[in-house]
């Protein structure tokens, strides 16, 4: 019998609005009674933690995310929030883990299954964000070449990939982001057709009319709120809105998008929410092979932003709501 220490970050109490560092704490617990040779359990050593804004919904007293999928279940203050759900895709998970090492495994079958996922580093960075971007864009938005696509939080983890997939497919793509530097990145390195800083705009309906004089065909929504309202006003007939995130609502309980439903009806707009778990194995395989190819030939740019050490996690997480991150936010917490 062997004992290991498990270090983890938890919340001190429920978080209903802006997260702040003092609301989190780091704890250590001893894991007792580790694996016997015939055990079906494995212990996963996390190497990298993916920092995701949607986790805020798990920290609230109540959110519809908590009853939708196991990965979004409620986090109990003060506890190690169990735990290491090793899914078919073999992502160990405290928050969400994109890389893993099995340090103890009782049953060889588990080891083999886990090792079936030989991801290159860059593909594992793109990981779930890429699947959401790829699946959401192609399966939900059903693009046609030449269509006009708008993406919000466009320098973020999911959205920068949506814009890149849309450009590679042959669409006209405009993104919005919260700083001039992010806008420059979108138009430069990521080759978006155009970009703007939404914080400098006072009338989002007019802003979008300026960037899309002939209307928007597809909107990939990561933020909800005012931007979603303005998009619906600028949407073309048979427009599609893929709703994956609503970050502007997460920490502002008083604000929700109020859509003009007459627009939705008469323009026959489809608005569809979705989760990364909605995609089939075939769609995942398609995403993996296309993306691997794009990354290998240098057509798809991987934006990652890494911080180091478990202690930095609260600061890194809060940064998502303070517009500090560009691309996929990751914290490396251990060496292989």
Ligand X SMILES: NC(=O)c1ccc[n+]([C@@H]2O[C@H](COP(=O)([O-])OP(=O)(O)OC[C@H]3O[C@@H](n4cnc5c(N)ncnc54)[C@H](OP(=O)(O)O)[C@@H]3O)[C@@H](O)[C@H]2O)c1
Looking at residue 138, what DSSP letter applies?
I
The nearer residue to ligand X, 42 or 243, going by C-beta atoms, is: 243
Residue of 288, 277, 302 whose CA lies nearest to 189:
302
Are 104 and 45 in contact by the 8 Å Cβ rule? The answer is: no
Q: Helix 204-211 crosses helix 225-234 at what angle (to 10 degrees)?
A: 50
Residues 83-122 contacting ligand X, CB under 6 A = none
Looking at residue 156, what DSSP letter applies?
B
Query: How many residues bind ligand X, per CB under 6 A?
Result: 27
Residues 311-330 contacting ligand X, CB under 6 A = 320-321, 323, 325
First-residue to last-residue Cα distance in the chain: 23
Which part of the chain contacts ligand X (CB under 6 A), choosing from 103-111, 134-142, 149-157, 281-289?
A: 149-157
Task: Please pick, from the candidates 94, 98, 124, 157, the single residue that binds ligand X as defined by CB under 6 A.
Answer: 157
Considering the rule CB under 6 A, would residue 175 count as an interface residue with ligand X? Answer: no
Considering the rule CB under 6 A, would residue 307 count as an interface residue with ligand X? Answer: no
Residues 35-54 contacting ligand X, CB under 6 A = 52-54
Considering the rule CB under 6 A, would residue 245 count as an interface residue with ligand X? Answer: yes
CB of 198 to ligand X, least distance (A): 7
Tokens of 125: 């960075």
Q: Which residues pair with 42 in a beta bridge?
A: 105
The nearer residue to ligand X, 189 or 268, going by C-beta atoms, is: 189
The nearer residue to ligand X, 73 or 107, going by C-beta atoms, is: 73
- What burial letters (b/e) apply to 21-60, b meaning 16+ CB within 10 Å? eebbeeeeeeeeeebeeeeeebbbbbbbbbbbbbbbbbbb
The nearer residue to ligand X, 42 or 303, going by C-beta atoms, is: 303
Tokens of 161: 């990939």
Task: Please pick, from the candidates 155, 173, 186, 295, the single residue that binds ligand X as defined by CB under 6 A.
Answer: 155
CB of 29 to ligand X, least distance (A): 27
Backbone torsion region of residue 263, taken as left when φ is above 0, otherwise alpha when ψ lies between -120 and 50, otherwise beta: alpha
Tokens of 330: 């990751």
Q: Cα 181 vs. chain centroid, distance in angstroms? A: 21
The nearer residue to ligand X, 269 or 320, going by C-beta atoms, is: 320
Three-state DSSP at 118 gives: coil
Residues 193-222 contacting ligand X, CB under 6 A = 222
Considering the rule CB under 6 A, would residue 177 count as an interface residue with ligand X? Answer: yes
Query: Which residue shows structure tokens 């008083």?
Result: 254
CB of 270 to ligand X, least distance (A): 18
The span from the CA of 142 to the CA of 139, in Å, is: 6
Q: Per-residue x/- mask for ligand X, residues 271 to 290, rule CB under 6 A?
A: ----x---------------
Query: Which residue shows structure tokens 């405290």?
Result: 94
The nearer residue to ligand X, 153 or 230, going by C-beta atoms, is: 153
Task: Please pick, from the candidates 208, 247, 316, 330, the single residue that binds ligand X as defined by CB under 6 A.
Answer: 247
Which part of the chain contacts ligand X (CB under 6 A), choosing from 106-114, 187-195, 240-248, 260-268?
A: 240-248
Binding site for ligand X (CB under 6 A): 52-54, 72, 129, 153, 155-159, 177-179, 182, 222-223, 244-248, 275, 320-321, 323, 325
């Amino acid at each position: 019998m062997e004992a290991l220490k498990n270090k983890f970050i938890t919340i001190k109490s429920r978080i209903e609005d802006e997260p702040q560092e003092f609301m989190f704490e780091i704890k250590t617990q001893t894991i007792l009674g580790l694996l016997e040779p015939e055990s079906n359990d494995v212990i996963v050593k996390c190497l990298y933690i993916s920092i995701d804004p949607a986790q805020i919904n798990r920290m609230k007293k109540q959110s519809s995310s908590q009853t939708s999928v196991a990965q979004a279940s409620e986090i109990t203050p003060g506890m190690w929030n169990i735990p290491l759900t090793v899914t078919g895709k073999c992502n160990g998970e405290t928050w969400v883990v994109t890389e893993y090492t099995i340090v103890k495994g009782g049953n060889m079958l588990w080891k083999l299954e886990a090792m079936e996922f030989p991801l290159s580093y860059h593909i594992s960075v793109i990981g779930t964000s890429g699947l959401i971007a790829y699946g959401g864009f192609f399966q939900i938005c059903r693009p046609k070449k030449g269509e006009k696509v708008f993406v919000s939080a466009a320098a973020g983890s999911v959205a920068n990939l949506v814009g890149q997939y849309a450009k590679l497919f042959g669409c006209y793509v405009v993104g919005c982001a919260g700083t001039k530097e992010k806008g420059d990145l979108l138009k430069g390195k990521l080759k978006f057709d155009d970009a703007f800083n939404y914080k400098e705009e006072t009338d989002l309906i007019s802003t979008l009319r300026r960037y899309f004089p002939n209307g928007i065909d597809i909107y990939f929504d990561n933020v909800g709120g005012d931007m979603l309202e303005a998009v619906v006003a600028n949407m073309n007939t048979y427009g599609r809105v893929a709703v994956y995130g609503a970050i502007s609502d997460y920490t502002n309980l008083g604000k929700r998008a109020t859509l003009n439903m007459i627009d939705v009806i008469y323009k026959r707009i489809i608005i569809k929410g979705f989760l990364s778990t909605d995609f089939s194995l075939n769609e995942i395989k398609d995403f993996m092979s296309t993306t691997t190819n794009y990354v290998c030939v240098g057509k798809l740019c991987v934006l990652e932003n890494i911080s180091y050490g478990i202690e930095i996690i609260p600061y890194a997480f809060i940064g998502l709501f303070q517009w500090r991150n560009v691309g996929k936010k990751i914290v490396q917490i251990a060496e292989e």
